[in-house]
Amino acid sequence: MTACEAWISAQHHDVFSVYLPHNGAFINAALSGKLRLQLKQKHLQLVAGDRVTLEGERITALHERRSLLSRIEAGGRGFAQALAANMDYVFICTSPNEEFNIKRVDRYLAMADGAGVEAVLLITKADIAGDLNSVLSSIQALNPNRQYLLCSAITGQGLDSVRNLVAGGKSAVLMGSSGVGKSSLINAIVGDSRLETSEISAHKDKGRHTTTSRTLIPLDNGGFFIDSPGIRELQLDNSDAASGFADITVLAGGCRFRNCAHMKEPGCAVREAVASGTLRASRLDSYLKLKDEERKPGKRLK
Ligand SMILES: Nc1nc2c(ncn2[C@@H]2O[C@H](COP(=O)(O)OP(=O)(O)OP(=O)(O)O)[C@@H](O)[C@H]2O)c(=O)[nH]1
Ligand SMILES: [Mg+2]
Ligand SMILES: [Zn+2]
């Protein structure tokens, strides 16, 4: 039987919807018994964006991942939950209304950082009269160099820029609270209404997300989006987080105390690096927030 490469789009129980890059089709496939066992032994789960080997309708191998975004599973059992693999970008979607929360934005940024995936802030619903100035100034305060794009699914503002970021085979996963307009944005860019969307009031009434699973959406410019359900609880995967702060780990080797918390300890090489301008203060802040997060597992993100 001939084997080909396929990309994981969505999962419904034991059935995976996979995308075939050679012909652009989506088909259903299931894990081979052998791969199922291998994944179980390694505590791995296939996730949207994963590259796999397909033999007929059987998925027989998982290819090495270029990047993996993950978080601690909601419910506090402490397992890392994979969110999307092989992404070039995380589009962190937030709208300039009551939903806007700079701490949440920072949390998403730290997650992207931890996975080594580039983050772009999408300020959605730029057509509504929210307090755009205060939103932009809090983003500036977080990091003056942070890229952001103003977009609107209604007026079309910013859609070309978002589209161009993924041109030529790049992939981006859209993340952000339920109702910020992730699916609407993708529909507006793709030019049809393939993804279900709904009024925010409906979200609140039903207490559910309109989008319920991650799905791969190919664009005609060669790029890919992954739509995802709004994340209610966002915690960071410690292993990813630590690996995303290799610069700080290296600096910490120069601290006087081995267990230095880089807060007020004398002889702290990390603080010295901030003072001398070799380390951004905002980066140390993100790192410390993350450490704080690790000490308080199960803390809800509001
Ligand atoms: N004014 C305005 N409303 C928008 C825009 N984009 C989306 N909306 C509205 O916002 C609501 C939620 O949009 P969705 O696209 O379903 O939001 P979502 O982020 O995909 O939500 P989940 O799938 O639950 O995570 C809908 O009522 C949309 O019509 C926009 O650019 N401007
Ligand atoms: Mg959606
Ligand atoms: Zn220190």
Query: Within this chain, do residues 117 and 250 fall inside the same structural domain, yes or no?
Result: no
107 close to ligand 1 (CB < 6 Angstrom): no
Domain boundary among 185, 200, 227: 227
* Whether 86 and 220 share a structural domain: yes
* Long-range contacts of the stretch 129-136 (C-beta < 8 A, 24+): 130/95, 130/96, 130/97, 130/100, 131/96, 132/96, 135/94, 135/96, 135/100
Residue 214 Cβ inside 6 Å of ligand 1? The answer reads no
Atom of ligand 1 nearest to the CA of 151: 31
Same domain, 218 and 258: no
Per-residue pLDDT tens over the stretch 264-285: 889 998 999 899 888 888 888 8
The enclosing H or E element of 217 equals strand 215-218
177 lines ligand 1 (CB under 6 A): no
Asked whether 183 lines ligand 1 (CB < 6 A), one says: yes
Query: Which residue's C-alpha comes closest to atom 11 of ligand 1?
Result: 199
Q: Which ligand sits nearest to residue 201's alpha carbon?
A: 1
Question: Is residue 237 situated within a structural domain?
Answer: no
| Three-class HEC string of 252-284 | HCCCCCCCCCCCCCCCCHHHHHHHCCCCCHHHH
Is 235 contained in some domain? no
Last residue of a domain, one of 174, 198, 227: 227
Give the pLDDT score at 301: 42
Q: Residue 22: give its domain's CATH number.
A: 2.40.50.140
Residues 183 and 272 in one domain: no
What's the total number of domains in the chain? 3
**Pair 81, 100 in one domain:** yes
Distance CA 264, CA 40 (A): 44
The predicted pLDDT at position 164 comes to: 96
Asked whether 199 lines ligand 1 (CB < 6 A), one says yes
Give the chain's residues under pLDDT 50. Answer: 73-78, 203-207, 233, 235-243, 298-302
Per-residue pLDDT at 74 = 44
Q: Is residue 144 part of a domain?
A: yes
Are both 175 and 73 inside the same structural domain?
yes
Task: Kindly report the CATH number assigned to the domain that includes residue 143.
Answer: 3.40.50.300
Closest ligand 1 atom to Cα of 153: 31
Whether 112 and 164 share a structural domain: yes
Whether residues 88 and 167 fall in one domain: yes
Structure confidence at residue 63 (pLDDT): 96
Which domain does 44 fall in, by range?
Answer: 3-62
Distance between CA 86 and CA 249 in Å, rounded?
25
